[in-house]
Each structure stands twice: as structure tokens, then as C-alpha cells.
């Protein structure tokens, strides 16, 4: 009597033969829009100085922030309320705060478009929660006004205090207004120069730049793109603007296989953070690392006891660190040292100096 087991195994073998090669060779492709941007198409930063009103006695202490009082006096004078210099200096308004407003004007923004703004306390206000930003002009680097901001501030924190006790959740001195500014002036943006549009890669890499050129020429026709240097690519584009926009839309969605980046270890000594990419390798080496501590006991001078000073140094035996050909091996080798993050920073620097760490060490 025949069974279906043999047939099932043959079918499974055929499926495995077809699927396994695809799994063994993953394609790490990215779109051109994820790797590069169009030259000249950029955001512009805006900034402004304003006043937040409507706070619940959590505003600036005007005696310590004279610029808040001066700003309120100038604003009131523009609205027909004239105060003498003596009256202005005596203002004690705890429900207002001086703030800086920042925003980003996107490319191709037109008058009437709404953009988000971030409001940050400039003085010693305790909280901006519940406040309203008064009409504030936002200027660019050239000093021109490009947007006007106003609206209710959304603060993602909360706080409470009673006597000497205080509880704060998240940050209270900064908030955001969604669509809080209206664009008043557009920034001219040129979409290319003549018959060419230039793409700029996020980082300089000759291999990736050549892959971008090859992908564009395959997808849009030979001779469409050419590399200028290790970061820029010149693309022949249609003269008609409508056709050019559609042309660039197709180019941005072409897939490119980027060249693997250089091996790099990022170290932040302020936080003790260490991050490394998958290209980091490690040569075999020996490491000894011990810590030195000094303990000072003030003693009791009234009883005639002097200070007791002790110096201790923990033993740092020489440990053999095995070579690692991939990231998991490197992590295992470093974990075997049993060092804390701060000690690991010093060890990585010493490994780099000795040539055992095959990676670029960057301290941020």
C-alpha cells in the first residue's frame, strides 16, 4: 500500500530549494529618497520672541527677568495703553512668561499654510501649562518675517507643589502648538538648474553614489545620471515643470543597494552610552583594568580623632579577549570583561590605540 509521505517530502524539498536561497541572500535595498535629497529643496529655520499669557501664577518672576516687563510694556504701548517707565518697572504679573518660539518652514511652503511651533520658556517660569501664546512674528536668518504664531500651548507634563514638597512629571517649561503659525512669506525654491537636477547623498560614499547612478540609468534610461563626486549626482530632467515633478517622483522611488558603511563605535562619555554597528571586529588582545578609589573619613576632632584616609585599588588581572569576526562575537568578548559602561569607554580607547579594535572610534 502506497502512502503520501514520499510525495510530501519531495514537495517539501522543492519548496525549500526555492525559498532557502532567497532567505540566505537578503536584499538590503533602500529608496533613493531615503539616501539622498534634491539640491536646493530644504527647510528653513524660524525664530521669534513672544509672551505667553493666562498662566496660573506659574509665570516669570519679573523682578528677576526685566526683559519680560519690558516686552509687556512695549506690547501695551502698541495697543494704546501707555505706561510710564516707573509703572512698567513695578509690574508684577505672575501669569505671563517670556518665551522663544522656534519652527521649521518646509520647502515650497506658501502663504496661508499652517506649520507647527515649539514654545520654550526664556525666563524662570515654573510652567507654561494652560498658557496662550500672543501674536508673535517669526523671522528667518535674513531678519525677514516669514510667519506669525499664536495659539494655546499643549504641554505634555504636569506638576504640583505644596509647601516644601514638589512633584513634576515630564517637562513643564516647553510646549508645542500644532498648526500654531501661519506662513506669510514664501521662500523661492529652484527645482534644479537648467536641464539638470542634482541629488545630494546624506553621507559621502563613492560606492553608494555609483550605485545610485546605475539605478537611475537602469530605470530611466542610459545617460540620465552621472556622478559629480562622492556625494552629488547630476540627473538630466525634462524642461516642463509638470513632467519634471513626475520624473523626480519616479526617481525617488527607485531601489538602491547601498554599500556597507565603515565600522564605527560611538561613545558618549556623559551618559556612558556605547553603540557599535555590525561591521565592528576585534583582534585578539589581553586587557587588564582596575579601579582606584580614595575614601576619606573626617574623624571626630572634638575627641582628638584625626581624619582617616584610605586608598584602595582593585586587582585587575590580565584577561584574554578573543577575536570577534562579527558583532555578536565582539559583544560576547566585551561582556566577558565584566566592565561597567564607564570602564568600557577607557577599554575601547585603549583597544583602538593598540590596533585591536578594527573600527572608527567617535566620541560625541
Domain definitions of the chain by residue range: 44-183, 200-256, 264-299+307-363
233 in Cβ contact with 209 (< 8 Å)? yes
Q: Give average pLDDT by consecutive 10-residue segment, the chain, 364 residues.
A: 46 43 52 90 93 86 75 77 67 83 94 95 88 94 95 79 58 89 91 87 88 92 92 92 90 86 81 80 77 54 56 59 72 74 79 84 83
Q: How far, in Å, CA of 205 to CA of 260, rounded? A: 10
pTM of the model: 0.68
> Which residues fall within 8 angstroms of residue 305, CB to CB, at 6 or more apart?
299
Cell of 201: 547623498
pLDDT value for 311: 52
Amino acid at each position: 500500500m502506497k502512502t503520501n509521505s514520499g510525495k510530501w517530502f519531495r514537495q517539501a524539498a522543492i519548496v525549500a530549494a526555492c525559498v532557502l536561497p532567497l532567505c540566505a541572500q537578503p536584499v538590503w535595498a533602500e529608496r533613493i529618497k531615503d539616501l539622498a535629497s534634491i539640491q536646493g529643496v530644504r527647510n528653513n529655520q524660524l525664530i521669534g520672541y513672544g509672551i505667553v499669557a493666562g498662566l496660573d501664577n506659574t509665570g516669570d518672576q519679573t523682578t528677576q527677568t526685566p526683559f519680560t516687563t519690558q516686552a509687556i510694556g512695549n506690547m501695551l504701548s502698541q495697543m494704546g495703553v501707555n505706561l510710564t517707565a516707573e509703572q512698567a518697572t513695578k509690574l508684577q504679573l505672575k501669569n505671563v512668561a517670556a518665551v522663544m518660539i522656534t519652527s521649521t518652514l518646509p520647502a515650497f511652503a506658501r502663504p496661508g499654510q499652517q506649520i507647527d511651533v515649539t514654545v520654550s520658556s526664556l525666563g524662570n517660569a515654573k510652567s507654561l501649562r494652560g498658557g496662550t501664546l500672543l501674536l508673535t512674528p517669526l523671522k528667518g536668518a535674513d531678519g525677514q518675517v516669514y510667519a506669525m504664531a499664536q495659539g494655546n500651548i499643549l504641554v505634555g507634563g504636569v506638576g504640583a507643589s505644596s509647601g516644601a514638597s514638589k512633584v513634576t512629571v515630564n517637562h513643564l517649561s516647553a510646549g508645542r502648538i500644532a498648526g500654531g503659525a501661519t506662513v506669510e512669506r514664501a521662500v523661492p525654491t529652484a527645482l534644479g538648474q537648467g536641464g539638470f537636477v542634482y541629488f545630494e547623498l546624506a553621507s559621502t560614499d563613492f560606492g553608494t553614489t555609483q550605485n545610485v547612478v546605475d539605478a537611475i540609468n537602469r530605470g530611466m534610461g542610459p545617460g540620465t545620471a552621472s556622478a559629480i563626486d562622492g556625494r552629488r549626482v547630476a540627473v538630466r530632467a525634462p524642461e516642463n515643470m509638470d513632467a519634471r515633478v513626475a520624473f523626480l517622483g519616479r526617481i525617488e522611488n527607485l531601489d538602491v543597494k547601498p554599500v556597507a558603511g565603515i565600522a564605527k563605535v560611538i561613545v558618549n562619555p556623559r551618559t556612558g552610552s556605547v553603540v557599535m554597528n555590525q561591521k565592528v571586529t576585534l583582534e585578539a588582545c589581553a586587557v587588564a583594568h582596575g579601579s582606584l578609589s580614595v575614601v576619606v573619613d573626617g574623624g571626630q576632632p572634638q575627641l582628638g580623632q584625626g581624619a582617616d584616609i584610605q586608598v584602595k585599588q582593585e586587582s585587575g588581572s590580565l584577561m584574554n579577549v578573543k577575536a570577534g569576526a562579527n558583532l555578536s562575537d565582539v559583544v560576547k568578548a566585551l561582556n566577558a570583561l565584566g566592565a561597567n559602561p564607564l570602564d568600557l569607554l577607557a577599554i575601547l580607547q585603549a583597544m583602538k590605540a593598540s590596533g585591536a579594535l578594527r573600527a572608527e572610534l567617535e566620541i560625541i
